[in-house]
Amino acid sequence: MKKYSTPYLIWMIALVLIPILFMMILSVTNTKGVNFEGATFDVSQWSKLTQSIYLTALWNSLRLSTYTSIISLIIGYPVAYWLSQSESKFKSLWLLMIIVPTWSNMLLRIIAWETLFYPRSILNSVGISLDLIGSDLAIVIGMVSIYLPFMIFPIYAVLDKMDPSYAEAASDLGASPFHIFTRVTLPLSLSGIVSGVIMTFLPSATAFAIPQRLGGGNVLLIGNIIESLFKRTFDYNLGSLFSLAVIVVIFLGMRVLSKVDAEGETLL
């Protein structure tokens, strides 16, 4: 088994472990960019973690990504359930229609929403005028539209492979469709829900292009701050520190979700 996991370990070390270690070093030094010449140990930037502007940005990121995950779950679960139960000959076409938008450039889709959210847009031709740029709603709509497929497919994969004999047995024992869903289908699909929430929450919590375009500069997210620190002010030390802080917060959230999944399997 080890020879099969070796490529995975190599990629994990190269793309995850080494960058994190690099950020850890930058977060405790006073380098100029990535130039370590003359660098010394310095944790003075750590005090900035508690500054109100950064705490607000972190809160906005967690809040909006939570909204995005919940809305994506509310929309995505019924879609995934319907697809898993469908026997239509067009089932592959429906799946393809969900996948196709992810093939297009994400920035183009964001700009499309941005165009629609301005008061003067193509929607004026049908008597609709939206003025959502700079609002939480615009950001959440953009995030849901971008990341919804990442919620649907993990849930669909679990539901599609679920043994129908469980539901049939519950029905034979007199369980109603509601109880079959809440006592059998939903608990068995928890692993898909957890995977979908993680795959939706992670990118939305660290997004910067969506809030930058749809937020209109009025809604500050931690992703925008990190992007600015790395690409505009070149403060790699503080940018690395905030990146590590986000990783820790997200990791804690994933641990909570993993426990929920484990408890769901225990109940079964």
CB 146 within 8 A of CB 210: yes
Residue 44 clears pLDDT 60, i.e. is over it: yes
- For residue 245, the one-letter residue type is A
The angle that helices 136-161 and 52-85 make with each other, rounded to 10 degrees, is: 40
Q: According to the model, what pLDDT value does residue 3 have? A: 60
Q: Which 8-state DSSP code applies to residue 100?
A: G
Distance CA 215, CA 100 (A): 26
User: Where residue 6 falls among pLDDT bands split at 50, 70, 90?
Assistant: confident
Predicted confidence (pLDDT) at residue 149 exceeds the cutoff of 80: yes
Give the closest residue to 59 by CA, choosing from 225, 260, 232: 225
DSSP string, 154-205: HHHHHHHHS-THHHHHHHHTT--HHHHIIIIIHHHTHHHHHHHHHHHHHHHH
**Model confidence pLDDT, tens digit, residues 49-108:** 888 888 899 899 999 999 999 999 999 999 999 999 888 888 889 888 988 888 888 888
pLDDT of residue 180: 87
Q: Which domains does the chain have, with CATH numbers?
A: 1-42 (no CATH), 54-267 (1.10.3720.10)
Q: How far is CA 165 from the centre of its chain?
A: 33
Look at residue 268 in the predicted model and tell me its pLDDT.
52
CA distances from 198 to 85, 120, 139, 242, 252 (A): 24, 36, 19, 20, 12
